[in-house]
Structure 1
Amino acid sequence: MAYQNIDGVRVWGKPDEGALVQARMCAENGNVVQTLLMADHHKGYSQPIGGVVVYDGQISPSGVGYDIGCGNKAVRTGLKIEELRPRLSGIMDEIARRISFGIGRVNNERVEHELFDDPDWAVFKAVGSGVHDKLKALAQNQLGTVGSGNHFVDILEEEATGRVWIANHFGSRGFGHKTASGFLNLAAGRDFLANAPGEKMDQPPVLLDLNSELGDMYYRAMKLAGRYAYAGRDYVIQQVLAILGTEADLEVHNHHNYAWKETHDGKEVIVVRKGATPSAPGQMGFIGGSMGDISVIVRGKDSEENRDAYYSTVHGAGRIMSRTQAAGRMNYKTRTRSGGQITTAQMLEAVRQFGVVLRGAGTDESPFVYRKLQEVLDAHAGTIEVMHVLKPVGVCMAGADEFDPYKD
């Protein structure tokens, strides 16, 4: 097998000590069946990013995290890259104009969706006065916005065929963030909308019994935030297809911050994946590299190693440098940064050499802050097969100094 068993934690790739400490802590709290680290793992809040924890009858709001339902959608179009290349710069300008990045909305189009009639919105009427109306209004206002941080809209070329793909990466925005913080508040005996104290990275996971009232309410709210994330990604892909004047003939869509009820070894368990992509046999997923690296469409293998991974794989290349290390500290009063290791000139030269037309993005998302995607894919060769290799030709992200409290 390609993974190591370190103190009972199944680890793919090179172990990161900080993430391993967190994984061990997760393994020691609650009704844990198995804890795992995918090859793109690094430290997160409470549960490591690239970490998977399998529970018997429990769910973890801190494990799922603040960006509930963060994930990727990728679609293949009928276009060839040679048709697109002459107008690529203009297309990227139009994407940056029409799609809302950061916290605000650049267009005034109100996005209607059937999910706003879902009966599970009743959960928010039960958790406190005014919560339902506030969260629903926030959700309606932000549906179809991408956010900042590592969230993107990409135009990609399939290396083998020259076919054009579109991909995006984001989650449930402010609605998911408020849902997560609200249930963490309730679990600690605070009001849903209270200001939570500052969290420590290495604090134990917050756990709810799934058959408790609070656990059931969180599970329903999480599923609603997941549907919301899917709807947002669907909407943005449709916007980009309209800009390109084409349609999709294949789509791949996955969450990677979520908790799933699954059956493993004949028993129903809750699999909490934070920054980890489901990879059941035959299931397809999009895994994105940096703006100066390949992305891939993968498919889960029916293998013993994939079963040992609880049908989980990487969600990206994995950071090797923090945002602050890369870009420096931001002073929002003066709108200046200081102390970063990566310059804008370095980033722009790297993406130029890779042949990418870039709109937005800060140095904290430059190619230098991520592993090479092929390294983490190689570590999971026993669990997934690569179906399509995609090279980004256009990348659009929020601007470098865009303030967004819901970015990761």
Structure 2
Amino acid sequence: MAYQNIDGVRVWGNPEEGALVQAKLCADTGNVVQALLMADHHKGYSQPIGGVVVYEGQISPSGVGYDIGCGNKAVRTNLYAADIKPRLAQIMDEIARSISFGMGRVNQEKVDHELFDDPDWSVYEAIGKQEHDKLKVLARNQLGTVGSGNHFVDLFEEMETGRLWIGNHFGSRGFGHKTASGFLNLAAGRAFMDKAPGEKMDQPPVLLDLNSELGDMYYRAMKLAGRYAYAGRDYVIQEVLSILGTAADFEVHTHHNYAWKETHNGEEVVVVRKGATPSAPGQVGFIGGSMGDISVIVKGKDTVENRDAYYSTVHGAGRVMSRTQAAGKMNWKTRSRSGGQISTQQMLDAVRDFGVELRGAGTDESPFVYRKLQEVLDAHAETIEVLNVLRPIGVCMAGADEIDPYKD
């Protein structure tokens, strides 16, 4: 097997001590069947990024995290990359103009969606009319916006065929963030709309019994936030297809911050994946690398090792440098940073050398802060098959100093 068993935690790739400590704490808290670390793991809030925890009859709002339903969508267009390369700069300008990154929205026309008539909004009505109304307004205002942090809209060239792909990465925005903090508040005996509880990175996971009223409410709210994330990614992909004047003939769409009810070893369990992609046999996923690296379309294998992984794999390359280490500390009064290890010029040179037309982004998202994607894919070679290798040619993200309280 390619994984190690370290104090009961199944670990792919090179163990990162901080994340392993968090995984062990998760493994020792609640009705845990198994805890795992994917090869792109690093420290997160309570449950590590790249961490998977399998529960019997329980769900973890802190494990799913604040960006409920964060995930990726990728589509293969009817175009070839060569068709658009002569006007790539103008296309990326149009994507940056037309799609809302960071806070606020540039596409002023609000996106209507059947989701706003979903019966699971009754969860918030049960909490309170004010809470329901505020969250629905926030959700309406932000549907179809991308946010900041590591969230992106990219154009890719498929290395095997030259076909043009579009990919994006973001989640449920402020609606998901306030849903997560609200249920963490309720679990702590506080009011739903109170300020989010203090985040201690290494605190034990917050657990809810699925058969409890609060656990059932959270599960329904989480699923609603997940559908909201899907709707947002669908909208943004359609906008880019419209800019390109083309259609898609294949799509991949998955969450990687979510909890699923699944059957493993004949038992129904709850699999909480934070920064981990589902990879059941035959299931197709999109795994993004950095802006100076490949991304891939993968398919889960029917192997013993994939079963041992509870059909989970990496969601990206995994950070090796924190945002503050890379970009330095931000002084919001002077709008300046100091102490960063990566300069803007270093980032721009690296991205240009890789052949990428970049819009937005800060040095905390530069290629230098991530592992090489192939390294983490190699660690999971017995669990996933790479179907397509995608090379980024256009990357669009929020600006370097964009404030967004809902980023991943």
Please tell me the TM-score bracket, short chain as reference.
over 0.9
Task: Map 1:5-404; keep pairs closer than 5 Å.
Answer: 5-404=5-404
Equivalent-residue separation in structure 1 for 2:361 and 2:198 (angstroms): 27
CA RMSD of aligned residues (A): 0.5
Query: Which shifted more, 160-169 or 120-129?
Result: 120-129
Letter in 1 for 2:233: R
Does the residue aligned with 1:215 lie in a helix, a strand or coil? helix
How far residue 129 of structure 1 moved from its aligned partner, in angstroms, is 4.4
Does the residue aligned with 1:221 lie in a helix, a strand or coil? helix
For residues 199-233 of structure 1, give each alpha carbon's deviation from its aligned partner in whole angstroms, at most 9, with x where no partner exists: 11000000000000000000000000000000000
How far residue 195 of structure 1 moved from its aligned partner, in angstroms, is 1.4
Equivalent-residue separation in structure 2 for 1:208 and 1:197 (angstroms): 16
How far residue 280 of structure 1 moved from its aligned partner, in angstroms, is 0.3
Equivalent-residue separation in structure 2 for 1:33 and 1:104 (angstroms): 42
Question: Are the equivalent residues in 1 in contact too, given 2:181–2:197 (CA < 8 A)?
Answer: no
Equivalent-residue separation in structure 1 for 2:333 and 2:98 (angstroms): 28
Number of equivalenced pairs: 408
Letter in 1 for 2:10: R
Does the residue aligned with 1:26 lie in a helix, a strand or coil? helix
Using the size of structure 2 for normalisation, the TM-score is 1.00
Indicate the residue corresponding to 2:407 in structure 1: 407
Equivalent-residue separation in structure 2 for 1:109 and 1:374 (angstroms): 40
Equivalent-residue separation in structure 1 for 2:190 and 2:127 (angstroms): 11
For residues 303-341 of structure 1, give each alpha carbon's deviation from its aligned partner in whole angstroms, at most 9, with x where no partner exists: 000000000000000000000000001111211111100
Unmatched tracts of structure 2, length 5 or more: none
How far residue 294 of structure 1 moved from its aligned partner, in angstroms, is 0.1
Equivalent-residue separation in structure 2 for 1:81 and 1:115 (angstroms): 34
Equivalent-residue separation in structure 2 for 1:127 and 1:203 (angstroms): 26
Question: Are the equivalent residues in 1 in contact too, given 2:185–2:197 (CA < 8 A)?
Answer: no
Letter in 2 for 1:193: M
How far residue 126 of structure 1 moved from its aligned partner, in angstroms, is 1.2
How far residue 389 of structure 1 moved from its aligned partner, in angstroms, is 0.2
Letter in 2 for 1:196: A
Equivalent-residue separation in structure 1 for 2:32 and 2:222 (angstroms): 20
For residues 284-317 of structure 1, give each alpha carbon's deviation from its aligned partner in whole angstroms, at most 9, with x where no partner exists: 0000000000000000000000000000000000
For residues 125-168 of structure 1, give each alpha carbon's deviation from its aligned partner in whole angstroms, at most 9, with x where no partner exists: 11134100000000000000000000000000000100000000
How far residue 197 of structure 1 moved from its aligned partner, in angstroms, is 3.7
Using the size of structure 1 for normalisation, the TM-score is 1.00
Equivalent-residue separation in structure 1 for 2:218 and 2:234 (angstroms): 24
Does the residue aligned with 2:252 lie in a helix, a strand or coil? strand
Does the residue aligned with 1:147 lie in a helix, a strand or coil? coil
Equivalent-residue separation in structure 2 for 1:196 and 1:290 (angstroms): 30
For residues 360-402 of structure 1, give each alpha carbon's deviation from its aligned partner in whole angstroms, at most 9, with x where no partner exists: 0000000000000000000000000000000000000000000
How far residue 107 of structure 1 moved from its aligned partner, in angstroms, is 1.6
Question: Are the equivalent residues in 1 in contact too, given 2:77–2:246 (CA < 8 A)?
Answer: yes
Letter in 2 for 1:63: G
Question: Are the equivalent residues in 1 in contact too, given 2:184–2:197 (CA < 8 A)?
Answer: no
Equivalent-residue separation in structure 1 for 2:110 and 2:104 (angstroms): 13
Does the residue aligned with 1:145 lie in a helix, a strand or coil? coil
- Aligned-pair identity in percent equals 83
Equivalent-residue separation in structure 1 for 2:86 and 2:172 (angstroms): 34
Query: Which shifted more, 191-200 or 91-100?
Result: 191-200
Equivalent-residue separation in structure 2 for 1:215 and 1:358 (angstroms): 43
